[in-house]
Amino acid sequence: MRIAVVTPIPTPYRDAFWNVISAQPGVDLHLLYCAWGKADRPWKNDWPMRYPHTFLKGWNLLAWKAMEASLYLNPVIIRSLSSLKPDAIVIGGYNHFTMWMAMFWARLTHTPYFLMCETHKSDNKKGILKNLRTMLLKWIARTSNGALPTGQQASLYLQEYGWEIRNLFELPNIPDIEAIESITRSLHQQKKVLRNKWGVKNQRIIVCVGRLVQKKHVDHLIKSFAQLKTAYNVRLVIVGNGDQEEILKQLCRQQQVTDRVQFTGFLDPQEILEWLTISEIFALASNETWGVAPIEAAAAGKFILLSSGVGSATELAKRYAHLKIIAHGNMQAWKNALEHALKKTGKENEKLSENKNLSPWHLETQACQFLNYLKNTSGIGGI
């Protein structure tokens, strides 16, 4: 079965999944990336990509607006798909002109196509934008063979626009959980070395991993952290970069916590795992459609605090016991949750990794289910 995937940029977590898909018997996979990367995600793209892939020539029409903004236009997508002649196309979202062109090509050639979607109800728009989106999604629901929501919330969202539940397959955006478990177990033996490397010595660590953009609401975390007693001897480590970085550093000065908050800047995946290894608590106060970093933290066995605005929170809570969901934007609730987590962790933190059931999210399991879904829904054999 020839599968073409049209997606915005490479990511270390989703590309690990495509590696597993490509290794399955009878699968001929080709990835078509709209761009090499984005300003707010300056990855080196040095992880394995064991499948044929193409970086399409084109433009990000919103590159001028903000680091995280993107609207891709890659006219060459038509020629690329015509050359590949896929049996099925997986399209990563509906927000880019390139994705629309891929959908129209699929319709013209009677090629089955499937929409990948993270968006859910909390992603609200009003007025003409809402009406245009409604028209677009209803058209995709009528013309596609199915969709791949990341979880239950995204599934319900798609059903509102006309998808039948029998044509949906929940495909969470997940990292290589087994690899993270193995790496962090190995790094655990080097905790003293890692603490010296990052200059934290005996302090307890709360880590936040994410882009420093408005929707991540790192300011909520800083304000709540500032209310904690200094007797806890804890450091808040913020991993990531973005256009809010200087604003957040100014907030730390206002809250008088500059000596207790550390900004690392952008880090590569391996360095993030080092911070997860030496931390006790992972915290994310954002409002976003999914969120991969909390899943990495669960694989590493951390105590996790998540805003109710994090799309992956409810899905992860079904599989990981040491997680607390806090009402989005409630500063007092966040302060209480941080104190609770600091009291609960420590010696008990060593046992957290024993209480999880993440095996349904292992990549091999997901790959087999995904391919069976494509085969059954598109009516194409060859797998």
Q: What is the pLDDT of residues 324-345, one digit of tens each?
A: 999 999 999 999 999 999 998 8
SS3 state of residue 221: helix
C-beta neighbour count of 90 within 10 angstroms:
24
**Closest C-alpha among 276, 356, 357 to residue 322:** 356
pTM of the model: 0.91
Nearest to 175, CA basis, from 67, 275, 300: 300
205 Cβ contact partners less than 8 Å away, ≥ 6 residues apart: 234, 235, 237, 275, 278, 279, 280, 281
Q: Is the CB of residue 303 less than 8 Å from the CB of residue 322? A: yes
CATH of 177-358 given 3.40.50.2300, 3.40.50.2000, 3.40.47.10, 3.40.50.150: 3.40.50.2000
Q: What is the pLDDT along the chain (383 residues), one digit of tens a residue?
A: 999 999 999 999 999 999 999 999 999 999 999 999 988 888 889 999 999 999 999 999 999 887 788 999 999 999 999 999 999 999 999 999 999 999 999 999 999 999 999 987 645 566 788 889 999 999 999 999 999 999 999 999 999 999 999 999 999 999 999 999 999 999 999 999 999 999 998 899 999 999 999 999 999 999 999 999 877 899 999 999 999 999 999 999 999 999 999 999 999 999 999 999 999 999 999 999 999 999 999 999 999 999 999 999 999 999 999 999 999 999 999 999 999 999 988 654 555 555 578 999 999 999 999 999 999 998 765 54
Q: Which two tokens stand for residue 238?
A: 């913020």
2-175+361-378 against 177-358: fold identical: yes
DSSP for 291-325 reads -SHHHHHHHTT-EEEEETTBTTHHHHHTTBSSEEE
Tokens 């177990």 correspond to 185
What CATH code would you report for 2-175+361-378? Answer: 3.40.50.2000
pLDDT, tens digit (0-9, with 9 covering 90-100), for 33-90: 999 998 888 888 999 999 999 999 999 999 988 778 899 999 999 999 999 999 999 9
Q: Where are the domains of the chain?
A: 2-175+361-378, 177-358
